Amino acid sequence: MSIVEQQYFGLLRAALWDTSVSIDKEIDWEAVMQIAEFHSNSVLLADLASRLTDGNKPSVAMLAKMQSQMRSNLLRQMRLRQILVLALKLLREHDIEPVLLKGFGLANLYPNPALRQIGDIDLFVGLAHFHEACTLLRSLPGSYNWGEEIDAGRHYNIEFGSYPMEVHRVSADVGDAKLQSFYAALEKEELLDHPQSISYEGLQISIPSKEFAVFFTFYHAWNHYLESGVGWRQLSDVAMTLHAYYGQLDLDKLRQWLDTMRVMKPWQTFGWLIVDRLGLPKEEMPFYDASFHRRATKLYRQIMREGNFKRSNNFKRKKPKRRFWHKAHAFFGFFVDFFHCVRVFPSQAFHLLYSKMRAGFGKFFKKK
C-alpha cells in the first residue's frame, strides 16, 4: 500500500470503530479525500477530520468543504426519511408490509447512522404485491417515473425530485435459473416470513433477518464487483453487519447459503480484506482463511483502481444510441466484466459466462 492508502485506511478504521487516529506522518488530506469520494465514504472521514485536535487536522478550506458535504448528506437523509415514512404508511394502509433493504437499514449499524452515505430508498415487497405497491407509491405527491413499465425488471424506479426509490420484487438477480429458485425460497423465508423489526421515526419497520442481512449485504457487494465496481462503502457495510450480529448468527445456515450460491471463495477473499484493511476482528469474520491473502491482494488492486460504480460509469459514458450498436456495446460490456472477474475468481467467472450464454440462447429461441 502507498502512504496515502495507509492513511486512508487508518482514518476509515478510526471512523468505523469510533477509535482514536494513530498516524505518524502528516496526512495528505487532498489525496485521502479523493480516495474516500471514489469509494462513497467521504462523509465518514469528514466527520472524523472535524473532530481532530492535533496537527493532523486539515486546512480551514478543506474543513469547510468537508462540513458542506456533511450538511448535504444530512439534508439528503432527512428528505429521504420523510419519503420513507410516507411510503410505509401508504403501503400499510393497503396491508402491504415492505422490507427495508441496504442504506437506511444498514445505517443504524454504524456508530453514527447519519454518516453512512445514502443514495436512495430500497423497499422489497415481493412478487405478490409488486404491481399494487408500485401503483400506490406512484400516487405519492411529487413522484415521477420515466415511462418504465412496472413489470419490466427486478425493481421499479420512482423519483421524488432528486430522491430516488427502488421498489423490489426480487432483491437480487442471480442469473442462474436453479440458483434463482433457491434464492427466491430464501427471500420468502428470511424477508417475507421471518424478518426483523426495528423502530424507525416512531414506526416499526421490517428489515432482513440477521443471517440474511449478512448474506445479502455481502451478495450485494459481490454483484457490484461483478457488474459495475465495488467500493469500500459496500465492504464497510459488510463489516458493520458482521460486527453488529457477532455471536447471534446461525453459521451452519450461512455456510449452506454461501456454498449453494457458489460464493464461499469470494466471501473468504473479501473477508481477508475486511479484516486486514477495515479492521474487523478475525473472530467476527465467519470462515476467515488467511491463505486467501494472495487472491485478496489482486482483488484489492482492482477495488482501488475501480471504486464504487466506476467501471460501469466509465464504460457507459461511451454507450452508442443506435439499437444495434447499443446491443453490441452491452455484449462487449459483459466480456469486460468477465475478464475483470476471471483474474481473481476464475471458477465464478466461467459459471457466470455459462449462465449468461444459456439465458441469452433461451431468450432467442423463445422469441423464435
Query: Locate cell 436512495: which residue?
Result: 120
Higher pLDDT, 324 or 42: 42
For residue 47, give the nearest of 12, 8, 75 by alpha carbon.
12
The domain that holds 93 is classified in CATH as: 3.30.460
Residue 71 falls inside a structural domain? no
Amino acid identity of residue 216, one-letter, is F
- Which of 119-133, 192-206, 353-367 shows the lowest mean pLDDT across its residues? 353-367
Give the pLDDT band (50/70/90) at residue 203.
confident
How crowded is residue 70: how many other Cβ atoms within 10 Å of its Cβ? 19
Residues 216 and 322 in one domain: yes
- Which of 70-79, 205-214, 316-325 shows the lowest mean pLDDT across its residues? 316-325
Residue 134 falls inside a structural domain? yes
pLDDT tens track for 71-102: 999 999 999 999 999 999 999 999 999 999 98
pLDDT tens track for 157-168: 999 988 999 999
Residue 192 falls inside a structural domain? yes
Asked whether the beta carbons of 240 and 106 are under 8 A apart, the reply is yes
Q: How far apart are CA 88 and CA 208, in angstroms?
A: 16
Residue 66 falls inside a structural domain? no
Helix (H) or strand (E) holding 292: none
Residues 199 and 216 in one domain: no
Residue that finishes a domain, picked among 208, 224, 253? 208
Mean pLDDT of the chain: 86
Residues 351 and 285 in one domain: yes
**pLDDT recorded at residue 364:** 44
Residue 7 falls inside a structural domain? yes
What percent of the chain lies above the pLDDT cut of 90? 58
Residues 13 and 31 in one domain: yes
Return the SS3 of 175.
coil
Q: Structural domain tally of the chain? A: 3
Residues 217 and 364 in one domain: yes
pLDDT tens track for 211-224: 999 999 999 999 88
For residue 44, give the nearest of 64, 17, 6, 81 by alpha carbon.
17
Question: Can you name the residues that pair with 196 across neighbouring β-strands?
Answer: 207
Q: How far apart are CA 346 and CA 340, in angstroms?
A: 10
Q: How far apart are CA 71 and CA 50, in angstroms?
A: 13
Task: Flag whether pLDDT at 146 surpasses 90.
Answer: no
Residue that finishes a domain, picked among 184, 208, 232? 208
pTM more than 0.75: yes
Give the pLDDT band (50/70/90) at residue 25.
confident
Residues 195 and 107 in one domain: yes
For 164-187, what is the mean pLDDT?
89
Asked whether the beta carbons of 18 and 28 are under 8 A apart, the reply is no
Residues 173 and 280 in one domain: no
Residue that finishes a domain, picked among 181, 208, 235? 208
For the chain, the farthest-separated pair of C-alpha atoms sits apart, in whole angstroms, at 70
Which one of 24-28, 226-230, 297-301, 355-359 scores highest in mean pLDDT?
A: 297-301
Cell (9 digits) for 283: 473472530
Contacts 24+ apart (CB under 8 A), 84-90: 84/121, 84/200, 84/201, 85/201, 85/203, 86/140, 87/121, 87/123, 87/137, 87/140, 87/165, 88/203, 88/205, 89/203, 90/136, 90/137, 90/139, 90/140
Higher pLDDT, 202 or 17: 17
Residue 74 falls inside a structural domain? no
Residues 131 and 260 in one domain: no
Query: Locate cell 423465508: which residue?
Result: 189
Residue 70 falls inside a structural domain? no
Alpha-carbon dihedral 41, 79, 204, 239, rounded to 10 degrees: 0
Helix (H) or strand (E) holding 123: strand 121-124
Residues 199 and 267 in one domain: no
**pLDDT recorded at residue 213:** 96
**pLDDT recorded at residue 202:** 75
Residues 141 and 252 in one domain: no
Residues 367 and 260 in one domain: yes
For 156-180, what is the mean pLDDT?
89
For residue 352, give the nearest of 267, 262, 292 by alpha carbon.
262
Q: How far apart are CA 41 and CA 128, in angstroms?
A: 36
Give the pairing of strands 143-144 and 121-124.
unpaired
Tell me which residue range forms the domain holding 130.
81-208
Return the SS3 of 164.
strand
Asked whether the beta carbons of 2 and 31 are under 8 A apart, the reply is no
Q: How far apart are CA 187 and CA 215, in angstroms?
A: 11
**pLDDT recorded at residue 201:** 66
Task: Flag whether pLDDT at 152 surpasses 80.
Answer: no
For residue 104, give the nearest of 225, 201, 243, 231 by alpha carbon.
201
Task: Flag whether pLDDT at 334 surpasses 70.
Answer: no
Q: How far apart are CA 133 and CA 136, in angstroms?
A: 5
Task: Flag whether pLDDT at 360 surpasses 50.
Answer: yes
pLDDT tens track for 277-301: 999 999 999 999 999 999 999 999 9
**Half-sphere exposure of residue 207: CA atoms within 13 angstroms, side-chain side:** 23
Asked whether the beta carbons of 42 and 31 are under 8 A apart, the reply is no
Return the SS3 of 367.
helix
**pLDDT recorded at residue 327:** 54
For 209-237, what is the mean pLDDT?
93
Residue 266 falls inside a structural domain? yes
- Which of 32-41, 82-91, 307-316 shows the lowest mean pLDDT across its residues? 307-316
Task: Flag whether pLDDT at 368 surpasses 80.
Answer: no
Residues 175 and 248 in one domain: no
Task: Flag whether pLDDT at 340 surpasses 90.
Answer: no
Task: Flag whether pLDDT at 366 surpasses 70.
Answer: no
